[in-house]
Amino acid sequence: MTTTVAAIKEILAGLRGTPELADELADTADLVDGLSLDSLEMLQFMLELEDRLAIRIDFDQLEFSYLRSIRTLADFLDTMPARPPPAPAM
């Protein structure tokens, strides 16, 4: 079973276009300064996290400091509720 930490690393590797990055990243890697994700890449990252983990991120609870470590972010994401099924278009 893929852990949240592994999922984060795989998504980051995909965003960077370097599959080997998933194996190279430390659990403590900093998403802001270490990986230099810009704001648009961070949006893509969040979208993929929600899809991959089937969760809905509560941004009221997301502290910027959580992005300073993959492990810290994973701990936060593990507390997020499952994403509700999509509502039918009206």
Partner 1 sequence: MGSKTSSLNAQASRWRMLRGLHPEPIDLARVALIRERTPAYLAQPGNLERLVLELGLNDEGLEEFPAELHPHCGQGLRIWQYPSQFAGYLAKLATLGVRSYMELGVRHGGSFVATVEVLERFRRLDFAIAVDIIRCPAMAGFARINPRVEFAHVNTQAAEFGALLARLGSIDLVFVDSHHEEAQCRREIDALAGVANMIALHDISNIGCPGIGTVWNEMKASGRFACFEYAGQYAGMGPYMGIGLAVKNERLGVNAAPAVEGA
Interaction site with partner 1 (CB under 8 A): 32-33, 36-40, 42-44, 46-47, 50, 56-60, 62, 64, 67, 86-90
Q: In sequence order, what are the residues at sequence separation of 6 or more whose Cβ sits closer than 8 angstroms to the Cβ of residue 31?
A: 12, 37, 42, 45, 67, 68, 70, 73
Determine which helix (DSSP H) or strand (DSSP E) holds 47, and give its type and residue range: helix 39-53
Please say which residue, 13 or 62, places its beta carbon nearer to partner 1: 62
Per the structure block, which two tokens stand in for 90? Answer: 């009206």
Measured from the CB of residue 58, what is the shortest distance to partner 1 in angstroms? 8
Measured from the CB of residue 30, what is the shortest distance to partner 1 in angstroms? 11
Please say which residue, 23 or 75, places its beta carbon nearer to partner 1: 75
